[in-house]
Amino acid sequence: MRKPETIEKLYLDFDGFFASVMQQAMPHLRGRPVGVIPFETSAANSTVVIACSKEAKAAGCKNVMRVPDARVICPDIILVTQRPDLFRRAHNALLNEISCEIPIETVKSIDELACKLDRHNIAEPNALAQRIKSRIRHNIGEQITCSIGFAANRLLAKIACKVDKPNGVTIWPPPDMPMPLLALPLEDIPGVGKRMEERLNQARIHTMADLWNSQPKQLRALWKNVNGERMWYALHGYDIQAMPTSRGMFGHGRVLPPQWRDPKHSLSCSRLLLTKAARRMRRDGFYANRLWLWLDIRNGGWFGQREMPCVQDDHACLAALAALWDKALAAIPKRAEIVRVGVTLLDLSPANARQLDLLENDDGERQKCELITNTIDGLNRKFGKRVVTLGAWTPPPGGYAGGKIAYNRIPSAEDFW
């Protein structure tokens, strides 16, 4: 296993991405504490601040904080409704600017990315960081800033970039390690949440120094998988490559505004979410064999699943959803307050591995439905909007069902049709 002798990776994290994009787009928000919420302000008290600006964070606000709590901490906070399509376009514009200075190796999320350094950039990392920041400032806007970390591998670079936020640059050359790392708390390591920290504490690992002095197999046992061992080697500066991943599911969830928390509106929203998830699945060339429907109900919940005969068309997916809703409506109270609804298509099969099923009439009804669905997709794609749908199409207040604010998935333009 190779251990780099110099910095090789850059990790970039945009500072308060969603709120700063809103501040760049709306000059009256600049320099003021801003909280991004999922719904219109008339429903603000019943929702949460899903992202906040650096000014709001300085006052004590945090992401995913209840609006009433945020208002107590920061009475001057300005609430603005999310604009996911604006976030998507800003993300693409920022990637374009950064790629003019250095090739982007991996886009980790809508507000984080990693790059591999060449010989010139290894020699002058500060100059590279300032060129990236200057490009963003002059070509995108002064409100959007980023923090950048340099280290031997991606994990260390990611940890480093969080050290001097906002708008900082942190460089951890291998000869200086592990001293900069040992000053940090365990929670600064990606993947170490409260539960994992409790598990580490039970194993007498209370500090970063304790973790550093542990053994690879010990962390593998604590994590209960190979990721613990991989993390040990990454923290010690080894070149650990990301493990290949495969698509496991397509799904969408939506927190419902107060006026949509009845079964009728929840069902309507779930149809819209499933249609968008199925469309994404077809774009990526998969079929699904199972559908999940889950409802978060005030003081409870409901979950159901249904097997499907390896399908991707809207007719089959919506028929399975209707059958699940029949079960749900028979099980939940008639006046149930459904706070959140979600759908998931899973047990995926690549399109080139799918086999026709004669018992399910694949040669007839199924292929006819697929042809209809593909024709609808083609029409919508041609005109760049939603021109044909199966049934009514009424998004919940606030819109963006299926194209909502996202950290770990960058929506495509089609997600907003």
Q: Which residues are catalytic?
A: 112
Contacts of 56 (CB under 8 A, 6+ apart): 19, 33, 34, 35, 49, 70, 74, 77
- Amino acid type, 365: E
Q: Tell me which residue of 146, 197, 111 sits closest to 15, measured CA to CA.
A: 146
| Cα-to-chain-centroid distance, residue 160 | 21
DSSP output for 256-289: PPGGG-SHHHHHHHHHHHHHHHHHHHHHTTEEEE
Backbone angles phi, psi at 169, to 5 degrees: -135, 125
N-term to C-term CA, the chain: 47
Distance of alpha carbon 24 from alpha carbon 76, whole angstroms: 19
Non-local (6+) Cβ contacts of 217 within 8 A are 229
Residue 371, classified by CB atoms within 10 Å of its CB into exposed (0-12), middle (13-18) or buried (19+), is exposed
% helix / strand / coil in the chain, to the nearest 5? 45, 20, 35
Contact present, 411 and 82 (Cβ < 8 Å): no
